[in-house]
Every structure is written in structure tokens, then in C-alpha cells.
Structure 1
Amino acid sequence: MIHQQQGTLAHACRTPNKVEAWILGSSIASLASAVHLISDAKIPASQIHVLESQGTPGDGISSTGDSLNGYDHRPGCLPSFDDGCMEKLLAYVPSASGSGTTVLKDIEKYHEDIGYQDAPVTHILIQGDHGPKRVEAKQLDLSLKDRMKLTMLLLRSEESLNSKRIDQIFKKPFFDSRFWIVFSTIFTFQAWHSAAEFRRCLRKYVPEFRGLNTKNPLDCAQFNQFESIIMPIIQYLQKEGVDFRLGTKVTDIITILDSGRKTVSAIRALHDSSQETIIVSSDDIVIVSLGSVTSGSSSGTNKSPPPLRTILDEDELDENWSLWLNLRTENPKLGDPYNFCTRVTESRLETFTVTLKDAEFFNRFVKLTSDKPGMGSLVFLKDSDWKISVCIPCQPFFYLQPDNVQIFWGYGLCPEREGSFVKKPMLVGSGEEIMTELLWHLGFPSESILNNSITVPCVMPRRTASLLPRSCGDRPNVIPEGMTNLAVIGQFVEIPDVTNVSMDYGVRGAQLAVAQLMGLHKQPENTRKTLDLSFLALWR
């Protein structure tokens, strides 16, 4: 609970060397905040403090494991790059290779080296008379009625949609179209998700849709997101001298009230089971990462399913959610976390990472899809009741991955359903059973592939929580109304007209938070553009 005390109002202007910056959580948005506080706001790194309850920063977007026990890749938001905010961030971060360049330059050079001129495509596989076959997705497969509905949705105001679901606007034929299959595969939308967020995503990406693909690659870097993007940021911040306080769980925020405005005056936290109170002055700033799409995630093994926890209880929520609940108790302007964190049957998906000991699967998969190996394409299995999509990334996908090992990953949008071949829900299936179902759909009923693979499943109960239907006010502004030294960031804050389907959203929020708290003139470029409907003539 937030305690209110009478006190003085925070200063309107802040001098960098007098500011202590407290960042609660270590999501990509939190890490971006620290980078921009150093690079843009010129706050000394030693005066930036990141409080994180886990033993490793990164908010659960970790990639762990080895070739013996199997790798475990937990994907964050895809795509990583959206409107340039991530590019600005990575232009500040030195390359982890020690080459003297930046992470952004490393990624750009990598694209040149592998010939990444074209965006990775999304394929659809269906069961034909002679096994699975690829369906061309160049046409949208939309009826005139659905094209008109999409056009009207693009032109509607967001206020008119409020808490509507997508399936309250479109009927079943739309959800069987190639357009929906590819769009939902890329951005993990479901029919029951937010029509307002779907509209934002459409307005951002549909004008760039050519052959049902976007220009931005999904797997944009040489290795997985954690090792290519998040780890270099962490290493840079640690080298600069940022104060990472791991194993520190924030339990409360204390504010003072003056003339109707609130200023954070203290932070209460548990560190090594000991309660501590951190004094915050009016010159200081506090940046809070709200919610987490990786919260409650649990991994299984090749022989056992992930443990299904009871995750509806508030006591089992991590601090990204519990702190938001506390903040909202005293300030209704801080949104409604309950709308996002308790609806796990609507926000859940299951990912899986497959470690291969020989090349048979890759060789057969490339032959089936006619795709250039390792371009990060997504392949959707249309006849899968689990709604499986598979991604074959560039190899090696992990930095220490042996040369004789290959990795791919995928996810199921409907893991609660019974499989087509494995007659049980994906949620209660072992990694081996998930791989068996996948091989059956691909027409690779090979015992040698199964015996030479290790599949690690991971249930992510809130992976699509940020896409759930919402009402106006369910998400707080980056600078909440009435607060003087507090900002909130992450996928669950409100940034008008911007879709939250990419990593860029959290980074954009971090840039806004730093600019507004520190009074900087330079803020992220506005992404809102005049909607050109000329592309609609191409819709067939």
C-alpha cells in the first residue's frame, strides 16, 4: 500500500549530478531507461540504481540450457525493431565483441554478411493428398465484406472500440483467411484480443504488407534476443558503473502529498530477507516497470511437461504486478492491472525450443518449405489444433552452441486444446510429445529425428496479456497524472497511437520517461502518420 504524507513539492528542473535515479525492475524498458539516463540526460552511472528481485537482469527474457540437456529460449516481443527507438538505443551500446563499434552496427553488418536484403517470409503449411504442402500467401484471401470491415476499422476512432474484441467485429470466415493466419502468426493475435490494439497494429504494418510480410526481420541479430540485445546492454551498464541491486524485491512506495500532487519520498524493499527503506528526495526520479509478459513462466523437460502453477493468486504475482496493484490502490489514474494479469486462459501460449544432434530435420524442413536456411521465417501449421508456428533461426542461435548442434523454436497459440496426433493438451505434454506432434504435421515420422532431439517446453501464462481487450484508463500514462518524480514504463503503459506488439514500445516508453522527468527537449519521434489508403487497392 502507498502511504501518503504531507511534504514539499518536487522541483520542476533537475540537475543531472544531483539526481539519484531509481529503476524498479530490469525489463528491456528498464535497461533502456538506464542507457538514456547516461547518454541523453548525462546522469553519472553510479547514481543510477536498478532494483531487481531475480539473480539475473532481463525480466525473464533469458535463454539458458546447453546441448546436453537442451536449450530453453523464451522469446520476448517480436519483432524487435519497429519505429527506430530500438535502433537509437543500440546505437549507444558498445559491441560485446570488443570491436569498437556498436550493437546496432554489428546487426547491420550481420545482415549484409548473410544477404538479409529481403524480409523473412511467413509460410502456411496444410495437409495435402500426399502429405504437407506449402500454400502461397501472396494474396490476402479476403472477401469484399471483410476488406470493407478492415477499411472501416482503420478509419474508426479508438474511443469507439473501447473494450471490444476482434471477433465482435469480424466473423469466422475472416479468421480462416490467409491474411489473418499470417498476421496473427507474426503478432500472436487471437480472435478474443483487443480490437483497439489490432487497429493500431494494422495502421502501423498493413501499408507495408507486401506478400503478407513486414519489412522488419523477426530474428534480426546473429544470436537470440537475450544474447544479442539484452546481454550487451547489461554489460555496458555494468561497465559504466550502474548500481545493479539483484535479489532486491520492492514491496512498497511511499509518497508525500502537496497541493494535490504526489512525490515519491521512499522505496521499501526486501534484500536477503531484510527490510530496507531507500530515501528518495524531490530531486530524484523513480522509474517503475509495470507488469511482465514473462511473469509466471515455467519450463518442462524432454520427458516432462512444465509445472502448471496456480497463478491467479495475488501472492504468486511477481513484483512487476504486485507493485502495480499497490500503486493503483491509492491512485486510480495508474490503470487496472487486474484486467491484464488475471486472465491467463486468454493470454497464455506455450513455447518450445528444440536442440538437434544431427542435420536430418533441417535438411527435410528446408526441402519442404523451399526457404533459405536460417532466415528466421515463421511457418504456421494450419491443420494444427495447437496452432503451432515454427521458426528456423540462423545458426548458431546460442553463443556457445556446438557446431554439430542445431536449434529451432516455436510456439502454440492454443495449448489448452487436444493435439491432432498426441491426444492431450499441449499444456500437459512433455517436450518429446510436442516434437512428436510437430513431426506428424510435417510428415517427418522419423524415429531418428525424435531420438536425436531434445525439446524443452515453456508455458508463458501472460505472454499476450498486453493484447487483451482494454477500456480507456486501464493503462496509465508514462507520467501518471499528479506525480512529480515518478514514471511508469513497459508494455502496459499508454502511448497514444503506438502499437505494443514490438520491443520498440517499451524502449519508446523509456525514452519518453527520461525526457519528461529530466526536462529534455529531445523526445522520441512521433510515429503517427496520415493513413494512406491507396494500398487497399492491392487487397484481394
Structure 2
Amino acid sequence: MPEDATKSQHHIVGGGIAGLSAAVFLCRDAGVHGEDICIYEQLGIVGGSLDGAGDAETGYLVRGGRMFEEHFACTFDLLEGIPLTSDPAKSAKDDIFEFNRMVPGSSNCRLIRGGKPAEDRYDLTLGAQDIVDLNRLLLYPETGLGAQRIDDWFQPTFFDSNFWLMWSTVFSFQPWHSLVEMRRYLRRFIHLFPGFTRITGILRTRYNQYDSMIAPILTWLQARGVRIETDKCVTDVTIEGTRQDRRVTSLTLDDHKTVEVGLDDGVYLTLGSMTDGSVLGSADRAPLLNEQVAGGWSLWRKLASQYEGFGKPEVFCGDTGKTGWNSFTVTMDGPDFFEFMEDFTNNRTGTGGLVTFADSGWTLSIVLFHQPHFRGQKHGTYTFWGYGLRGDRKGDFVKKPMWEATGLEIIEELCGHLRLAGDQRKWFESAKIVPCRMPYITSQFMPRQEGDRPDVRPHGARNFAVIGQYCELPRDCVFTVEYSVRSARTAVASLTGRVTPPPPVARTDLDPRVLIRASRVLLGI
């Protein structure tokens, strides 16, 4: 640990929300000068998985979206100090809560079955044994679960329930994913059970998450002189010393440049990325599967093979057939489809959240965003997003896996499930459709056991820490912005000694009132 972190250089590998958060905490809380912080990002733009790009002519794009809830303490602490670029008197945190008061979310049509809102859309359809198994999992010690899969715990009928359909599509769980992570989610979000079938209690950003979060953070950092080097991939990290006392001495970039790291400097390593290897398609072209392992995974593999305490990346990135799915973003020139969906779902645009087609082979879901969803979005254009949780299976109207489907074929499948007539399908004739294949999008959910994920501060690490989705944080849940931000604050607190550690993860699962309400939901009373 440096004697004075404010006089040190701080090197952040990865410009996703974890890396950007680390830079904010260093500046805001540890007193580090911005010019003494450098972020290395392999892509041409920072933001990582919180993206939002494109235009009305080529089509807007979001690969996905993370949801928020009121107990994301680290995230809201971060955003409370970040002013909006459009209104410096208002923080990014204030904007999220203001938007959700203005556009409260509550779904009237969570499930569609047979071309119409499912009659049992508010029924979890759980059997007695399913309820017993859920409660048993809530009470079972995490350390005793090991690397079990979800389908090792539950009966086959559980996966036919509405509970599982809604749970899996909201959080992107598969039966072969980690039982430990399923347990963490159950305990972490049990207070949301009363609104589960309507997706209430979930907070959303006003615009896409790049415009609502990343852009104002980037403006804040740049105003303080933080150096952000895009198109710079860190390909190697040299660590010297023993396992009991070791430090990073240099970083190697993909242009063969070496960055020396001093005795009192700090290094923050983002290892792995759930959106690495993303490939875009088009209306008439399916996105190809990118088998090439991208920079974040290559660096993690190299470190894990050379040094102890860096976990096992292959556990997470070794089977893209189980960690990938396809999403798609649609840009339309008129409101006709949105007006149809408002009547169909009985939800004003932007208030209903995820709509899932229960009888879809692809397990297809869509979200109609509050408009505009992009700052500067062309007036008169409308955007929505969707994904297929089971892109490996054949469609019901397009007889091929979603992974092989073009944008137009995805729209054909969507129209089939909505039972749209020929004149209604013409709404999509001028639409811009951008499908996206993400081979690692649920990689952090793969079954794991102790030691598969590195600690934020690996054993003996004097001047380096691991941040992002693939380090170990007790009790918290991956696939959330909160996990990445919490990892960054934990790392900065540990390395500098000048920042308070993050508050404990909220334990609503210990509140008797929460448990009673959750039990009533599961029992359907």
C-alpha cells in the first residue's frame, strides 16, 4: 500500500463501469489528481457493456440493459456526485429517481401465449415441491452447494412454471447455470417478490445507459484531467515477488509499448467481459459467431496460467454454447407498432418492461423503451429491444436457431407470435434492425466453486486489485451494475486506505416482514 496514494500513478485496465467507477472514487474520495490516473480501454469507446450507439439512418443499438433497484448503495453513491451534462444542478442519481416517479413501471402483460396476453400471467404456477425446493435453497449454506447447476436442485416440472419463465427471462438464467448464483439472487432480491409478476420495484434510466450514466461520468473525469486511452489493449502484466508479497512492475500494450509501474503506484485489472466478442448483423445478415477470444479474456487466461490466485477463466469462457444469446435493436420511422403494443399490453410505452412470448422456441422477449431512448434521437423515430434466451433452438415461424437468423427473420418470428396481419407487418418495411451475437453474455453465471473467481485483492498483492464481474464479492450478484461498482470501491479502498469500504450488501432476506410477503407470493395467497 502506498504511503501517499495522492502522489502515486494509478493504472486502470478496462474502461467499463468498473474502471470508470474506480477512477471516480480515486479522484473524489482518495484525493488523487486526475492527471495521475490513466484508463486503458481496448475498444474505441469507453462504457463497456453499458452502451448506446447508432443513428436513425443506420439504426440505433443497445446490446442489453442492466436493471436497478433502491438498494444499489454503491451505484447510487457513485451517481450522486456525477452531474448531468444537460443540467449540472441535477445528479445522475436524481435523474434516475425523478424519471421513475414520472414513468413508473408496472407490467400489465408480462407473458404472451397463443398470440394474446396470457390468462395466467400473474400466476407463478409453482407446485408444492417447487415451493419447498425454493425455500430449502434460501436456507441452504452457500458453501455446501459447490459447483451445482440449477437443474441439479429443482425437479424438471419447475422449469415449466411461470415463475421460472419470468425469473429466467428477467435475469437471463439457464437451467445449467450456477445454483450458488441463483441462491444469491433469491436472497438479494427477495423484497421484490410482491411485484415480481408486474416487474415493479425495478428502476430504469431515462435514456440508454451510455447516455444516462457513462456520458456524464466521462465528462466528469475528463474535466479533472483523467487520461483515457481508447484502442489500447493491455496484453500482459508483469508481477514480481512471492505469493506472500508481490506487485505489478509493468503493463504491456498491444502496440508493444511497456508502461512501467512504480513501487507506490496502483493497478486495477478488469478481467473478462460479458460483451467481449460481440458481433453485429443486419436486416439481411445474421451475426457470425466470433470464436476469437478477445482481450479481456486473453489477459485473464495469461495471468491465471502464470500466477496463483487469479482464478480459472475457462470455467466462465470455455463453452460459448451455454453462455451466449442474441439481442436485437429495432429503429422504426413511425409510431404504429408502438400504438398497437400499447393497446395490446394495456401499458403506456416505457412502463411495461419485458414482455415474453411464453410459447416461443427462442424464448423471445421484447422491451418498448420510453421514447426517446437516445439523446438526440431523431424526432419521429421509435426504438425497441429484444433478445432470445434460447437462441440455440429453432423458431416457431422461422425454422432455424435464432443464432442463424437475420434481422428480418427475427421480425418475422416476432410478427408470428403477435399474430400480425399482412398490413400490420408493413410497419417494419422501413425498419432498421441490428441483431447482435454475444458469446459470453451470461458467462458470469456458469457453475463455479471457491477459487474460480479471484479475490478483489489477491493474496499478497501489494499494488494491484481485480475489478468487474469476475472477482469474488460475498453475497452480491453479478450481471448488475452494482457488482462492478462495488468491486471498484472495494479495490480503491483496499489499495489507497483513503476510501471507506462499501457498505454491506442489503440483507432484506433477514426482515421478517419481507419474508412473510415473499411467502405469500410463492403460495399464491
Contact conserved, 1:265 with 1:281, CA < 8 A, in 2?
yes
Distance in structure 2 (CA, Å) of the matches to 1:135 and 1:484:
59
Contact conserved, 1:432 with 1:454, CA < 8 A, in 2?
no
Output aligned runs, 1:239-254, within 5 Å: 239-254=223-238
Contact conserved, 1:75 with 1:225, CA < 8 A, in 2?
no
Q: Which one-letter code corresponds to 2:430 in the other structure?
A: N
Distance in structure 1 (CA, Å) of the matches to 2:345 and 2:2:
58
**Alignment of 1:42 onto 2:31:** yes
Deviation at 1:394, TM superposition (A): 0.3
Shift in alpha-carbon separation, 1:366–1:157, aligned structure 2, 3 A? same
**Alignment of 1:329 onto 2:305:** yes
Contact conserved, 1:91 with 1:104, CA < 8 A, in 2?
yes
Deviation at 1:115, TM superposition (A): 4.1
Which one of 110, 118, 134 corresponds to residue 123 of structure 1? 110
Aligned partner of 2:349 in structure 1 is 373
Q: Secondary structure at the match of 1:391?
A: strand
Distance in structure 1 (CA, Å) of the matches to 2:279 and 2:243:
46
Output aligned runs, 1:354-393, within 5 Å: 354-375=330-351, 377-393=353-369
**Alignment of 1:141 onto 2:118:** no
Q: Secondary structure at the match of 2:301?
A: helix
Which one of 494, 498, 520 corresponds to residue 516 of structure 1? 494
Which one of 77, 84, 95 corresponds to residue 88 of structure 1? 77
Shift in alpha-carbon separation, 1:80–1:410, aligned structure 2, 3 A? farther
Distance in structure 1 (CA, Å) of the matches to 2:223 and 2:418:
47
Contact conserved, 2:5 with 2:264, CA < 8 A, in 1?
no
**Alignment of 1:338 onto 2:314:** yes
Distance in structure 1 (CA, Å) of the matches to 2:109 and 2:210:
23
Distance in structure 2 (CA, Å) of the matches to 1:344 and 1:121:
34
Encode CA deviations 1:366-402: one digit per residue, 9 max, x unaligned: 1111112212511010011000111111000111212
Encode CA deviations 1:218-243: one digit per residue, 9 max, x unaligned: 5x121111111112111211121101
Q: Secondary structure at the match of 1:125?
A: strand
Aligned partner of 2:289 in structure 1 is 308
Encode CA deviations 1:18-77: one digit per residue, 9 max, x unaligned: 111000011110100000101111100100000112221122543222212221211243
Which one of 424, 441, 449 corresponds to residue 471 of structure 1? 449
- Give the root-mean-square deviation of aligned CA atoms: 1.8
Aligned partner of 2:55 in structure 1 is 66
Shift in alpha-carbon separation, 1:464–1:135, aligned structure 2, 3 A? farther
Distance in structure 1 (CA, Å) of the matches to 2:497 and 2:106:
38
Contact conserved, 1:355 with 1:407, CA < 8 A, in 2?
yes
Output aligned runs, 1:487-526, within 5 Å: 487-520=465-498, 522-526=500-504
**Alignment of 1:277 onto 2:258:** yes
Q: Which one-letter code corresponds to 2:315 in the other structure?
A: N
**Alignment of 1:451 onto 2:412:** no
Q: Identical aligned pairs, as a percentage?
A: 34
Q: Which one-letter code corresponds to 2:180 in the other structure?
A: A
Distance in structure 2 (CA, Å) of the matches to 1:259 and 1:461:
33
Q: Secondary structure at the match of 2:116?
A: strand
How does the TM-score come out when normalised to structure 2? 0.94
Which one of 67, 80, 92 corresponds to residue 78 of structure 1? 67
Of the structure 1 ranges 94-103 and 470-479, higher mean CA displacement relative to structure 2 is found in 94-103
**Alignment of 1:401 onto 2:377:** yes
Shift in alpha-carbon separation, 1:260–1:211, aligned structure 2, 3 A? closer
Aligned partner of 2:9 in structure 1 is 20
Contact conserved, 2:109 with 2:346, CA < 8 A, in 1?
no
Aligned partner of 2:245 in structure 1 is 261
Deviation at 1:245, TM superposition (A): 1.6
Contact conserved, 1:366 with 1:372, CA < 8 A, in 2?
yes
Q: Which one-letter code corresponds to 2:110 in the other structure?
A: H
Deviation at 1:537, TM superposition (A): 3.7
Output aligned runs, 1:221-236, within 5 Å: 221-236=205-220
Deviation at 1:364, TM superposition (A): 1.2
Shift in alpha-carbon separation, 1:296–1:259, aligned structure 2, 3 A? closer
Shift in alpha-carbon separation, 1:81–1:208, aligned structure 2, 3 A? closer
Mind listing any 5+ residue stretches in structure 2 that lack a counterpart?
none
**Alignment of 1:132 onto 2:116:** yes
Distance in structure 2 (CA, Å) of the matches to 1:100 and 1:18:
31
Contact conserved, 1:352 with 1:409, CA < 8 A, in 2?
yes
Aligned partner of 1:291 in structure 2 is 272
Contact conserved, 1:397 with 1:407, CA < 8 A, in 2?
yes
Aligned partner of 1:52 in structure 2 is 41
Q: Which one-letter code corresponds to 2:244 in the other structure?
A: G
Encode CA deviations 1:435-479: one digit per residue, 9 max, x unaligned: 110011011133312313221110111111111111111001100
Q: Which one-letter code corresponds to 1:505 in the other structure?
A: Y
**Alignment of 1:413 onto 2:396:** no
Q: Secondary structure at the match of 2:475?
A: coil
Deviation at 1:13, TM superposition (A): 4.5
Aligned partner of 1:7 in structure 2 is none
Aligned partner of 1:172 in structure 2 is 156
Q: Which one-letter code corresponds to 1:439 in the other structure?
A: C
Distance in structure 1 (CA, Å) of the matches to 2:262 and 2:200:
46
Contact conserved, 1:78 with 1:501, CA < 8 A, in 2?
no
Q: Secondary structure at the match of 1:263?
A: strand
Distance in structure 2 (CA, Å) of the matches to 1:121 and 1:26:
38
Q: Which one-letter code corresponds to 1:178 in the other structure?
A: N
Encode CA deviations 1:86-138: one digit per residue, 9 max, x unaligned: 111111212111433211122222233x242x5557701100xxx42333433
Q: Which one-letter code corresponds to 1:509 in the other structure?
A: S
Distance in structure 2 (CA, Å) of the matches to 1:501 and 1:183:
14
Distance in structure 2 (CA, Å) of the matches to 1:25 and 1:355:
30
Distance in structure 1 (CA, Å) of the matches to 2:136 and 2:30:
42
Q: Secondary structure at the match of 2:355?
A: strand
Contact conserved, 2:239 with 2:250, CA < 8 A, in 1?
yes
Q: How many residues align?
A: 515
Runs (4+) of structure 1 moved beyond 6 Å?
none
Encode CA deviations 1:291-334: one digit per residue, 9 max, x unaligned: 1000111011111111223x1xxxx3222111111211222311
Aligned partner of 2:134 in structure 1 is 150
Shift in alpha-carbon separation, 1:521–1:490, aligned structure 2, 3 A? closer
Deviation at 1:258, TM superposition (A): 5.3
Aligned partner of 1:8 in structure 2 is none
Shift in alpha-carbon separation, 1:215–1:451, aligned structure 2, 3 A? closer
Deviation at 1:193, TM superposition (A): 0.6
Mind listing any 5+ residue stretches in structure 1 that lack a counterpart?
1-11
